[in-house]
Amino acid sequence: MSLLKPFSKLPDLNTANILLVENEEQFQQNLANTLVEETAVTVNVRLAKSLPLPMENDESRPRIDLVVFIINLTSDKSFESAKASLKYLDPGYFLGKVCFMATNARHASVRTGCLDALRQLAVSLHCPLLFAEDQTPEGATSSARRLLTILKVASGLIPNTTALYLSNLTRCTMPPDIDQPSFD
């Protein structure tokens, strides 16, 4: 199995590499355009539909610092594809280098239990869960800004912090009342 490994290649100076994985291949393009506009750091963006990544361009690919799974909550296929792609990540990534981003969380056609399932997944993997609004450019800008914060830490550009330290603060936790029976 071709696992994506976090530390198998050498990093570049003042560079951060991010991989956006999305089954629909829509929002990732907008996010990518906003991410590369960052001037303090050179950001390289790789877009993929699912893992595993093809072996052919393994040589030219830089070391990926942060893997973001973009999941559209209105589509089951999106969630299943992201779950299947998780198997192709080396466990080293789950120490703060993986992030989940959910779109369309407030849409009327979200199946009940879908958001909870995603939360359970993020909690079990100790990863942060972000919510994004994908229909407007402002949505892309604000999600890009949040991703950049995590990305700079994950690529080691912020002194005195590592991805593991940050993940202790940002990781998803289940709200305590989720397990209680509801009263309606």
Q: Which positions touch another protein (CB under 8 A)? A: 19, 24-25, 32-33, 36-37, 42-49, 53-54, 57, 61, 77
**Between residues 43 and 163, which has the closer beta carbon with respect to another protein?**
43
The count of other CB atoms within 10 Å of the CB of residue 132 is 21
CB of residue 120 to another protein, shortest distance in Å: 26
The CB-of-25 to another protein minimum distance in angstroms stands at 7
**How far apart are alpha carbons 129 and 101 in whole angstroms?**
6
Q: Residue 22 or residue 119: which is nearer to another protein going by CB?
A: 22
Q: How many Cβ atoms from other residues are within 10 Å of residue 18's Cβ?
A: 26
Determine contact, residues 94/125, Cβ cutoff 8 Å. yes
Give the nearest distance from C-beta 50 to another protein in angstroms. Answer: 8
Kindly tell me which of 26 and 173 has the beta carbon lying closer to another protein: 26
For 30, the enclosing helix (H) or strand (E) is helix 27-35
Alpha-helix runs per DSSP H in 56-162: 76-86, 114-125, 137-154
- CB 48 → another protein: shortest distance, Å? 4
Residue 46 corresponds to which tokens in the numbers above? Answer: 């790789």
Smaller CB distance to another protein: residue 54 or 175? 54
